[in-house]
Chain A
């Protein structure tokens, strides 16, 4: 996924990645990324029909998009409404 992210950034469109595999994504050093803490694979934004968590994760990602931060750093975030 970071390969695609880097290609999009190179054409001048800003991006933010929601990754559940921080170790693998870190190797590729994403431009901007958040890592929802403890989420199972398949739940990038939360469990099915959990609109509250979906909204919280998406909002966090968009906030990361507009914040100045160091490229290549993945920000791990906890979401209290998500229970693994």
Chain B
């Protein structure tokens, strides 16, 4: 698909009936998972929906002036808003937080691999989940 054609899926549910997933290229991952390769990485990580932020960290190859990844290391919610989503569930604004979330590390030169393999694989993961919509962040 060319860049001129913009894929656009209409929203078919009220927000209060939606399960929301986070997909982020900000380099967030579980401390127990393999860190991203700072030289470039086209892989992604699955983050369980019940994760606590103290189990998360950030690995990212960008210079700090392009992306200050030290900030989300202090509080992953700056790029991975899991606690805020949970607050919205409690408030009845959304139905649920997805059972899993997906992260990867942007700032990669392996663009062909990301376009050809990684992005479609992530889309398949989202499609197989029960998520109704996705919030994306990039750091």
A interface residues (Cβ-Cβ under 8 A, vs B): 1, 3-21, 25, 27-32, 40-49, 51, 54-55, 57-59, 61-62, 65-66, 71-72
Within 8 A of A (CB), among B116-139: 118-120, 122-124, 126-127, 131-139
Whether the Cβ atoms of A3 and B68 lie closer than 8 Å is no
Measured between alpha carbons, how far is A35 from B2 in the docked complex, in Å?
A: 24
Whether the Cβ atoms of B6 and A29 lie closer than 8 Å is yes
Within 8 A of A (CB), among B1-26: 1, 3-4, 6-11, 14-15, 20, 23, 25-26
Closest CB in chain A relative to B103 CB, distance in Å: 11
Q: A8-B122, A12-B9 are in contact. Are A41 and B139 (CB under 8 A)?
A: yes
B interface residues (Cβ-Cβ under 8 A, vs A): 1, 3-4, 6-11, 14-15, 20, 23, 25-26, 62, 66-72, 74-75, 77-79, 81, 83-85, 87-88, 93-94, 104, 106, 111, 114-115, 118-120, 122-124, 126-127, 131-139
Whether the Cβ atoms of B93 and A43 lie closer than 8 Å is no
Measured between alpha carbons, how far is A55 from B74 in the docked complex, in Å?
A: 18
Main secondary structure of the interface of B (DSSP, over half): mixed
Whether the Cβ atoms of A43 and B25 lie closer than 8 Å is no
Closest CB in chain B relative to A6 CB, distance in Å: 5
Whether the Cβ atoms of A4 and B75 lie closer than 8 Å is no
Those 5 A-B pairs whose CB atoms lie nearest each other, nearest first = A42-B68, A48-B75, A9-B7, A42-B71, A7-B119
Measured between alpha carbons, how far is A70 from B43 in the docked complex, in Å?
A: 32
10 more CB-based (< 8 A) A-B contacts, given A11-B127, A17-B136, A42-B69: A3-B119, A6-B7, A8-B23, A15-B133, A29-B6, A41-B62, A41-B139, A48-B77, A48-B78, A59-B93
